[in-house]
């Protein structure tokens, strides 16, 4: 007999031992190798030697039609649990998969739900529109499990009375993996604090229930780059983790700590009763932060600058609050560091200086002061550079090279990101064209901001390049962030389809940090999924999440690229798990065009 049949019969034997019962099911038998669909009554019989035997009585052979035969086979062998209950919740039928998982062979519908409210919601929906679907914890023979349950009102085929048909799939492993992915997406992996995405997306919810003033503390580590350069990044990470731990000990459970990135943190304090209480809290934090941080034989004295602003929750948006705190932080830095500054109206003059910087950026775009650096992307199997990511830098006439973290946020705040993005797109496409005409087989990946992607100018620019003779569209890949997929799915799908039809490739950048619904990822014409560096840096703990993403990439036919690879151990793990491509400091930092040429000629990495 087949393994499935053997498992079913053993389950029947267990059921008969536990209680005196019988089952009627449609089975397919094979007399003389001819499939015959029959209704069989199974009942238990105690044998003289104490073993449990089973009598199988054929009661009906009228269902011997091809569709019925296949239907019976499907019900027998499927792992999907199918159960029929009367409208009152009494058990009428279980297929073998459901019988194997059930808490008992005689239970009521309401007995399976861990949370009784789930049962009540299901029955309310069934009485209303006749169907319902939910993911809920259910009691099983091996303990509580997560089930994806579909419920439909129907009629019992035997009696014609109202009934409820249940189909269930055990999704416990997927649920745990997705919960962990969501946790990792909301959290900064180094410090365990919330991340910028979380506080930005949930700020209104976090503050809407507050009745009094709230406060936002924006702080960073003074001369943190020096700590990294002189003591190493490991010590820098320890400093950040220690500061986060100290902050958590001094705030209430209802308050929130988030790491915005680098050495920048914010603390959201709910319902601050008075300015005196707030000042006292800030002083406590400064004293705690100022204590030496020790690790092994190393200790480092750290100082922190803080910007503080208070606000009425119902009247202020996150960007405004953060901007005010940022202005106050800037004053703390300018005042010599290791101090806290409280925002007030007089500090609005700082905003004027920020607008001056905005003017500088605008001039820089118009005067073509921005240049591209390139970071190689390496094929894990061949060790060759197969693509490069184009990354923008600002070559300021007076200040020299300025990194993107200094101007990209301002561009995003002001809307200039679309102009800058269009300039970067042009430079990247021109470079791809030059390489193609010179016989260099290399792809170019270009970042597209959410605003640029959703704007009206992107498709026109891509069409213009596509009309250029010899232009290699398939060598140009457009990287969009996962958050872009949050909006109108139809509009996004249409935009992505337009890009794909023009011949360009599409990649999702920083995958795993957002809230993408895995079920609709497959609907988009994606060529590449880039695993966010935060997951790579947390290997091997984040291994199951990366494996899930690698499987997803394979299912949708996309190239899987791991970002932020910095160590041999990370490289070896990704190689063993079948990741397609990698990029990071382990291979090369972003470099100007002239320094990239040797990589294009020969960039072979020894395979493990």
Can you name the residues that pair with 162 across neighbouring β-strands?
155
Domain stop point among 76, 110, 125: 76
Domain stop point among 120, 144, 170: 170
Q: Point out the least confidently predicted range of 34-48, 100-114, 284-298.
A: 34-48
Question: 358 lies in a domain?
Answer: no
109 and 67 assigned to the same domain: no
Does position 19 have pLDDT exceeding 50, yes or no?
yes
532 and 584 assigned to the same domain: yes
478 and 549 assigned to the same domain: yes
185 and 235 assigned to the same domain: yes
Q: What is the CATH number of the domain that holds 279?
A: 3.30.70.270
Model confidence pLDDT, tens digit, residues 147-175: 999 999 888 877 878 899 999 999 888 88
Question: 565 lies in a domain?
Answer: yes
Domain stop point among 27, 61, 76: 76
Residue 380, phi-psi category: left (phi > 0), alpha (psi -120 to 50), beta (remainder): alpha
State the pLDDT confidence band at 604, using cuts at 50, 70 and 90: very low
The boundaries of the domain holding residue 139 are 78-170
423 and 561 assigned to the same domain: yes
pLDDT for the residue numbered 523: 77
Query: Is the Cβ–Cβ distance between 353 and 326 less than 8 Å?
Result: no
Q: Who contacts 399 (Cβ-Cβ below 8 Å, separation ≥6)?
A: none
50 and 154 assigned to the same domain: no
32 and 143 assigned to the same domain: no
299 and 420 assigned to the same domain: no
Question: 348 lies in a domain?
Answer: no
425 and 509 assigned to the same domain: yes
254 and 278 assigned to the same domain: yes
Model confidence pLDDT, tens digit, residues 428-452: 999 999 999 988 899 999 999 988 9
The alpha carbons of the chain give a radius of gyration, in whole angstroms, of: 31
Question: 351 lies in a domain?
Answer: no
Q: What is the CATH number of the domain that holds 114?
A: 3.30.450.20
Give just the sign of the alpha carbon dihedral 407, 413, 416, 422. positive
C-alpha distances (whole Å) from 535 to each of 255, 359, 539 are: 26, 37, 7
Instruction: Tally the domains of the chain.
Output: 4
Q: What is the CATH number of the domain that holds 538?
A: 3.20.20.450
44 and 62 assigned to the same domain: yes
Question: 361 lies in a domain?
Answer: no
Question: 300 lies in a domain?
Answer: yes
105 and 153 assigned to the same domain: yes
Model confidence pLDDT, tens digit, residues 43-100: 888 888 988 888 888 876 655 555 555 555 556 667 789 999 999 999 998 888 888 8
DSSP per-residue letters across 525-594: --SEEEEPHHHHTTTTTTHHHHHHHHHHHHHHT-EEEE----SHHHHHHHHHTT--EE-STTT---EEHH
Rounded to an integer, what distance in angstroms lies between the CA atom of residue 65 and that of residue 26?
Answer: 12
pTM (2 d.p.): 0.48
Rounded to an integer, what distance in angstroms lies between the CA atom of residue 163 and that of residue 121?
Answer: 17
> 465 or 512: which carries more pLDDT confidence?
465
Rounded to an integer, what distance in angstroms lies between the CA atom of residue 572 and that of residue 583?
Answer: 13
């Amino acid at each position: 007999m087949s393994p499935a049949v053997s498992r079913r019969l053993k389950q029947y034997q267990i059921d008969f031992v536990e209680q005196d019962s019988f089952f009627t099911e449609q089975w397919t038998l094979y007399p003389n190798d001819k499939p015959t669909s029959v209704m069989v009554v199974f009942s238990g019989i105690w044998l003289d030697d104490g073993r449990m035997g089973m009598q199988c009585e054929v009661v009906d052979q009228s269902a011997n039609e091809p569709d019925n035969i296949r239907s019976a086979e499907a019900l027998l062998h499927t792992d999907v649990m199918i159960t029929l209950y009367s409208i009152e919740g009494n058990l009428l039928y279980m297929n073998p998969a459901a019988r194997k998982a059930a808490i008992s062979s005689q239970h009521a519908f309401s007995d399976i739900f861990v949370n009784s409210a789930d049962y009540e919601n299901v029955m309310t929906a069934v009485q209303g529109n006749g169907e319902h679907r939910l993911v809920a914890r259910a009691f099983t023979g091996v303990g509580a499990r997560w089930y994806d349950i579909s419920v439909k009102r129907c009629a019992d085929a035997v009696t014609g009375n109202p009934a409820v048909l249940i189909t269930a799939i055990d999704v416990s492993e997927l649920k745990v993996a997705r919960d962990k992915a969501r946790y990792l997406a909301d959290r900064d992996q180094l410090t365990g604090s919330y991340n910028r995405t979380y506080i930005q997306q949930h700020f209104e919810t976090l503050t809407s229930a507050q009745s009094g003033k709230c406060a936002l503390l924006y702080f960073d580590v003074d001369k943190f780059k020096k700590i990294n350069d002189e003591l190493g990044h490991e010590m820098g990470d320890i400093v950040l983790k220690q500061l986060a731990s100290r902050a958590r000990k001094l705030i209430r459970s209802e308050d929130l700590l988030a790491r915005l990135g680098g050495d920048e943190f914010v603390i959201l304090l709910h319902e601050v009763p008075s300015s005196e209480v707030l000042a006292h809290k800030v002083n406590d934090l400064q004293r705690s932060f100022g204590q030496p941080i020790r690790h092994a034989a190393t200790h480092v004295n750290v100082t922190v600058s803080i910007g503080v602003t208070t606000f009425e929750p119902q009247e202020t948006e996150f960007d405004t609050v953060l901007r005010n705190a940022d202005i106050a932080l800037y004053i703390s830095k300018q005042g010599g560091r290791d101090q806290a500054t409280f925002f007030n109206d007089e500090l609005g003059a700082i905003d004027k200086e920020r607008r001056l910087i905005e003017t500088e950026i605008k001039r820089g775009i118009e005067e073509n002061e921005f240049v591209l650096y390139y970071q190689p992307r390496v094929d894990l199997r061949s060790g060759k550079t197969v693509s490069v990511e184009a990354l923008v830098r600002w070559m300021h006439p007076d200040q020299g090279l300025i990194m993107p973290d200094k101007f990209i946020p301002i561009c995003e705040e002001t809307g200039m990101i679309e102009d800058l993005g269009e300039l970067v797109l042009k430079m990247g496409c021109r470079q791809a064209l030059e390489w193609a005409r010179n016989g260099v087989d290399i792809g170019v990946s270009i970042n597209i901001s959410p605003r640029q992607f959703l704007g009206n100018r992107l498709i026109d620019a891509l069409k213009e390049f596509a009309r250029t003779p010899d232009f290699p569209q398939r060598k140009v890949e457009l990287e969009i962030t996962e958050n872009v997929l949050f909006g109108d799915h139809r509009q996004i799908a249409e935009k992505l389809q337009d890009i794909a039809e023009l011949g360009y490739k599409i990649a999702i950048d920083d995958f795993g940090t957002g809230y993408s619904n895995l079920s609709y990822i497959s609907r988009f014409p994606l060529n590449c999924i880039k695993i966010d560096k935060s997951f790579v840096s947390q290997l091997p703990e984040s291994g199951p999440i990366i494996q899930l993403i690698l499987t997803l990439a394979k299912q949708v036919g996309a190239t899987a690229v791991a970002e932020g690879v910095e160590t041999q151990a990370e490289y070896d793990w990704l190689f063993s798990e079948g990741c397609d491509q990698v990029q990071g400091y382990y291979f090369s930092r972003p470099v100007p065009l002239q320094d990239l040429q040797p990589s294009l000629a020969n960039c072979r990495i020894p395979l493990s």
